[in-house]
Structures are given as structure tokens and as C-alpha cells.
Amino acid sequence: GAVVSQHPSRVICKSGTSVKIECRSLDFQATTMFWYRQFPKKSLMLMATSNEGSKATYEQGVEKDKFLINHASLTLSTLTVTSAHPEDSSFYICSAQTGVGQPQHFGDGTRLSIL
Amino acid sequence: SQKIEQNSEALNIQEGKTATLTCNYTNYSPAYLQWYRQDPGRGPVFLLLIRENEKEKRKERLKVTFDTTLKQSLFHITASQPADSATYLCALAGSSASKIIFGSGTRLSIRP
């Protein structure tokens, strides 16, 4: 149980392209979903927290107009990297949580490479 | 500022031995602490959660301790196997918020 599917697993695209990443909880309803960014051999850095039906809460230093988050249902959240540039290249991971104090269940990440 | 330190960036041990990983934190009063396993190119997988009022938790070959006085958690894998080789992350969360803060991880290698 507690499976989170993240798609696509890898994206390679040209600078200036917008990229959408989907995160789905397959067998449970997620009240809260999180989006992280991870650099090689570094920890996960929280980008934003999203609750179904409300606006995402972004961490300090994360541009909300750059990283658009939509959490339209209890099983789906999307992250759109708008007008991506090479410095946006990274490993993006989503997670879903059923409630406060519960473990987070992670997707397998999306490797984004901007040329 | 809040800080989480996983003391060893890498740990190499012989198969069959007990692996012990350390997680220390400062300027934080977590309500609970979690341990995750992450394999290369994959998302973290939840292993264990321990709350502030719990001293120890076990799951099969895994054991976690939580000392709020020392501000430290220890993560043990007994009878370690090469398949246990991975990066292990500790994460803390406060009771007033659902977001958690991750340590940088310890890369564990179990040699046959």
C-alpha cells in the first residue's frame, strides 16, 4: 500500500520550455503533497507544500511564478517548471501524506535536464 | 537555525555486522523523527517513525532509538546484508507543522 506514482521519470528539453510533472497517490487519498528538489549527494530541499483545493505554500527562495503547483484532487498534484533554464536541471521528487504526523510516501522522482 | 547532522557521509561495514547510523539535531524540538532509505535515482522509502515520547522502536532487523536529551537518534541494522546498501536519511517534524526537515544522509555499503 501507499504507492505514489511520479511521471515522467526523465525529461530532457531545450531552454525556455515549460515542463509539467505529475504526482499521483494510487491507493490512498493524500491531504497534503510535497515537492522537493535534490542535488547530487545532497539532502532533499522542500520547495512547496500543497493541500488539495488550496494554494501551495512555497519555501523561502522558491519562485512561485517559476514553479507552478496545482493540487486539484486528493490523489493528484502537478508541478510545472515554467520557461526552464539549465540552472533548473535537477532531481525533483514529490511525496504524499495522509495527515499530520504520518509518514510521507515518495514518488521515484523526475530527472530534469535543460539543455 | 535548525540543523540536522548525519555524522557519517559514508559507512562501510562487513556483512553480518550491525550497522549503526547517527542523526543529531540542534535548535529543534521535534515531535517525531523518521528514517528513510534511498537508492540511487529513486525516491526515499519510509522505514520507521518514532515519537518524542518513545525511546525505541523495532521492525524486523531495524531498530531506532530517540534521545531527546542528547538530541540524537540512532538507527541500527542487525545482521546486515549487501542488499541493505543504500543511503539512509533521517527526518524531523514538529507537531505544529506537517513539513519535515531531512538530514543529508549516510551512504551505507555492506561488503560481502
pLDDT above 70: residue B71 = yes
Question: Looking at residue B30, what is its pLDDT?
Answer: 83
pLDDT above 80: residue B58 = yes
Give, as one character, the DSSP assignment of residue A88. G
Chain B residues closer than 8 Å to A32 by CB: 98
Which residue carries 543529531 as its cell? B24
Q: Which of B70, B96, B84 is nearest to B7 (CA)?
A: B70
Tell me how far the alpha carbon of residue A15 is from its chain's centroid: 20
Question: Looking at residue B95, what is its pLDDT?
Answer: 67
Chain A residues closer than 8 Å to B93 by CB: 101
pLDDT (tens, 9 = 90+) of chain A, 115 residues, equals 789 999 999 999 999 999 999 999 999 998 889 999 998 878 899 999 998 888 899 999 999 999 999 988 889 999 999 999 999 999 999 999 877 778 899 999 999 999 9
Residue B43, chain A, CB below 8 Å: the answer is: yes
More confident residue, B69 or B7: B69
Length of chain B: 112
More confident residue, A100 or B73: B73
Mean pLDDT over B19-37 rounds to 91
- For A48, nearest residue in chain B (alpha carbons): B99
Q: Count contacts between A and B (CB, < 8 Å).
A: 52
A4 in Cβ contact with A98 (< 8 Å): no
What is the share, in percent, of chain B residues with pLDDT greater than 70? 96
Chain A residues closer than 8 Å to B59 by CB: none
- Best of B4, B47, B98 to disrupt the A interface (most A CBs within 10 Å) is B98
Q: How far apart are CA B62 and CA A2, in angstroms?
A: 20
Q: What is the pLDDT of residues B82-110, one digit of tens each?
A: 999 999 999 998 765 657 889 999 999 99
Q: How far is A93 from chain B (nearest CA, A)?
A: 7
Residues 6+ apart with CB under 8 A from B58: B64
- B43 and A111 within 8 Å at the Cβ level: the answer is no
Q: Name residue B51's amino acid.
A: R
